Every structure is written in C-alpha cells, then in structure tokens.
C-alpha cells in the first residue's frame, strides 16, 4: 500500500524516489521458530514513471529466474524514471526444499488470490499481491519447465491486449504463446488488479541454463527501455517472434525406452516422427508423431516413458513459417558472451 508523498510502502518500509532499498516481507515462521521472509529489492528513479515487478521462483525449484534477478541487481541498473521491484524468490519455502510446492504441498501458482486467513500458500499469495503486485502497472513472472522438462525461451501472455502484446514482442524471444489464464495463477490475479503481465518460461527446474538466463536478462531490460524506465536502447537482434495461439503435449503411445528424433526448437510438420519408443531388447514398439504442424517448445528429458506420459510440448501457429528455426539460431548467436549483457557482478 502506498502512503506518504511519492513513497512506496512495502512491509512497513517507505522507499522514496531516487532510493534503492532491500526489504524483507515477513510471511509465516518456520516451526523451528525462525522467520523466512520474502526478500525484495526496490530501485526507484528520481522521476515518476511506471512501476514494474519482476518475480522468480513462484515455483521453488525454478532457478533460472533467481539468477536473472541476481544479475539485474548486480548490474546496478540506473532508472531514469519509475520503479523496479525485484523479487528473486516468492516461494522461499519451496526454494529451501528445492521443491515446486509449498510445505503444505500446494502449488502457489494455483493459490492466487489467496487470503490472509487461508492456507500457507493462500497467505503467501495474498501477501505477494498486497505488498508487491498492487503497486505495479506491469509485471514479469519468471518460470522454467518442471523437473526433467526443458522449455524453449518463450513468453506467455494475453496477446489480445495490445500493450501486453507489444511488451511481449520487445522481450526478444522466438516464441510468444497467447495463453489462456489459468485459474489461481499469479498472472490471472495480477490481470484482475489491472497489472499487465508477461510470463517468461525458459530452461528446466533445478538447473541454470545460460542462454535462458541471458535471454531473460535482456528481455527484462528491453521491457524497461520501452517503458521509458531506462535510457538503454532496446536490443532485440534479428529475432522476429512468432505467435502461437495454442499448444498441446504429445503423449507416449507405448511404454518403453525413448529415442528422441526431434529436439527443443525444432519445427515439425504433421506426421513427423518425434521419437521412437523401444523395448529394452531393441524392438521399436511405437513411434510418436506430430499431430499438426508446429514447433517444439517443451520436452521431457527422461528417456523412459509410460504410456500416456507427456513427451513433447508443441506450439501451433496459424500459419507455419519456415523462418522459425533460423530465428532460434539468431537468438542464440545474439546472446553470445560479447553481447554486452551482465555476467555476475558486471555493471552495465
Ligand atoms: Zn513455474
């Protein structure tokens, strides 16, 4: 809640224009009688402007976003106007346990808007909305694939909203997925509060993926540039993103050992064999085929499947385009170590 002239109040602490502050938001204590607060880093420009939050680890085992936020803090980004609220770990309990969930086994991203008297997940959701999201017109929520699943760098957002769509485009990743809001997600709750929000998905749980991290840092910086918060120029390289209107998981048609023939970022046409499923003795039991033309945006990494297991996440485009694979290569080249993005401790 805001109070006082031009100040932003988080957990009882005021942050004034031109100030940076580290704040801890108390949530519930551990039963070991120790507080586990949500750490927040606030950076304010001297002039008034947009308020943007960047959150990570809503799922506690999704670590790329923690590193993206860490590099943004380390880069000592200077705001010409507006406010940047960085939250490296929303689900601190999950991070401690290296788990997607909260200790009550609830998924925080299905527990929004939550309530002050609800479950632990509901309380964290309520506090996060009240202390962070409510201050912001814009938000970027950083995620990765689930455990043993990798995601191609992608933005999921309500692309029907013109301004959200423009921000998604400037983020600079090859695929934009126009996705419906999931019940109980941070994104849904934020949109209901009038906050425009991008969900960045890249890499896999419990791992750092350098390309995903660098694409995320650059994306956040690009969004800040177009919002006029920094004077840094937008760097999108040659990437012209492709918009997918839907996506679906292709599932295992048999149980066995997987030989993948297609990989993350591959463009596929209907009928392409994505993988062979074989027996331990070498027989091919079945092949998994692409049901439609699309691009592989997510992939299961364990080479063992039971019938029905999700194997390939394919995004479908209204008009398939040959240039998509080229775009992914361009993005990877753009993010080479010479691209001027901060590594740890480097300033920009
Ligand atoms: Zn997630």
The domain spans of the chain are: 8-236, 245-319
What is the 201 CA–ligand 1 centroid distance (Å)? 8
Cα gap 231→236, rounded to integer Å:
15
How many A from CA of 184 to the centre of ligand 1? Answer: 13
Low-confidence residues of the chain: pLDDT under 50:
1-3, 320, 322, 337-338, 343-348
Q: What is the pLDDT of residue 233?
A: 81
How many whole angstroms from 296 Cα to the centroid of ligand 1? Answer: 18
pLDDT of residue 280: 94
| CATH class of the domain defined by 8-236 | alpha beta
Question: Residue 250 C-alpha to ligand 1 middle, in angstroms?
Answer: 20
What pLDDT, on a 0 to 100 scale, did the predictor assign at position 235? 73
The per-residue pLDDT for 242 is 82
Q: What is the 141 CA–ligand 1 centroid distance (Å)?
A: 9
Ligand 1: distance of its center to the CA of 10 in Å? Answer: 25
Residue 329 pLDDT: 62
Q: How far apart are the CA of 60 and the centre of ligand 1, in A?
A: 8
- What percentage of the chain reaches a pLDDT higher than 90? 80
What pLDDT does 346 receive?
40
CA of 202 to the centre of ligand 1 (A): 10
What topology is assigned to 245-319 in CATH?
Answer: OB fold (Dihydrolipoamide Acetyltransferase, E2P) (2.40.50)
Distance between Cα 335 and ligand 1 center (Å)? 23
């Amino acid at each position: 809640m805001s109070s006082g002239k031009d100040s932003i109040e988080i957990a009882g602490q005021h942050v004034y224009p031109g100030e940076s502050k580290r704040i801890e938001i108390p949530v519930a204590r551990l039963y070991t009688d120790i507080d586990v607060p949500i750490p927040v880093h606030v950076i304010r420009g001297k002039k008034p402007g947009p308020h943007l939050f960047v959150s990570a680890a809503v799922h506690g085992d999704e670590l790329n976003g923690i590193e993206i936020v860490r590099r943004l803090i380390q880069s000592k980004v200077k705001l010409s106007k507006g406010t940047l609220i960085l939250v490296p770990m929303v689900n601190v309990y999950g991070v401690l346990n290296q788990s997607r969930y909260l200790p009550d086994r609830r998924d925080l991203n299905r527990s929004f808007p939550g309530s002050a008297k609800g479950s632990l997940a509901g309380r964290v959701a309520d506090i996060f909305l009240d202390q962070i999201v409510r201050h912001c017109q814009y938000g970027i929520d950083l995620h990765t694939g689930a455990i043993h699943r990798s995601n191609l760098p992608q933005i999921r957002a309500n692309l029907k909203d013109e301004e959200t769509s423009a921000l998604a485009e400037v983020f600079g990743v090859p695929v934009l997925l126009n996705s419906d809001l999931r019940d109980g997600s941070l994104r849904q709750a934020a949109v209901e509060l009038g906050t425009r929000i991008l969900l960045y998905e890249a890499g896999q749980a419990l791992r750092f993926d350098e390309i995903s991290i660098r694409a995320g840092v650059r994306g956040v910086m690009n969004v800040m540039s177009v919002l006029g918060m920094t004077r840094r120029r937008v760097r999108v390289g040659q990437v012209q993103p492709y918009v997918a209107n839907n996506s679906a998981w292709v599932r295992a048609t048999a149980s066995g050992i997987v030989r993948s023939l297609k990989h993350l970022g591959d463009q596929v046409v209907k009928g392409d064999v994505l993988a062979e499923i074989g027996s331990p003795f070498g027989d091919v039991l079945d092949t998994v085929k692409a049901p439609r033309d699309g691009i592989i945006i997510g992939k299961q990494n364990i080479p063992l499947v039971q019938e029905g297991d999700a194997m390939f996440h394919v995004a479908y485009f209204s008009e398939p385009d040959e240039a998509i694979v080229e775009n992914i290569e361009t993005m990877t080249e753009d993010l080479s170590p010479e691209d001027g993005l901060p590594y740890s401790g480097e300033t920009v």
